[in-house]
């Protein structure tokens, strides 16, 4: 049986002192795909997804996929880890 997992992290790729949220999807030990959620308007909303990722398994990438990734990233940013 293969485990599916998600790894979340934050890094400031753009050097603007606003971190991007990195969402990595794994199947077993292998990375299946990676998406980045960023805050281009610098308003704290984290509302831009880079990477066409199908997270809901409904025929390719759609707005709903972005909405799910944005919600996940916004929740992650609120955690004090």
pLDDT along the chain (81 residues), means of 10: 88 86 93 92 90 77 89 92 73
Q: What is the pLDDT of residue 68?
A: 93
Cβ neighbours of residue 73 closer than 8 Å, sequence gap 6 or more: 8, 21, 23, 37, 46
Rg (CA), the chain: 13
- Which helix (H) or strand (E) covers residue 33, if one does? strand 30-38
């Amino acid at each position: 049986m293969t485990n599916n997992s998600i790894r979340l992290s934050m890094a400031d790729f753009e050097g603007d002192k606003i971190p991007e949220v990195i969402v990595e999807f794994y199947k077993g030990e292998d990375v299946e795909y990676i998406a980045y959620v960023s805050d281009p308007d610098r308003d704290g909303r984290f509302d831009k997804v880079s990477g066409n990722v199908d997270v809901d398994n409904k025929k390719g990438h759609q707005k709903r996929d972005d909405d799910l990734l944005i919600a996940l990233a916004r929740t992650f940013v609120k955690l004090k880890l």
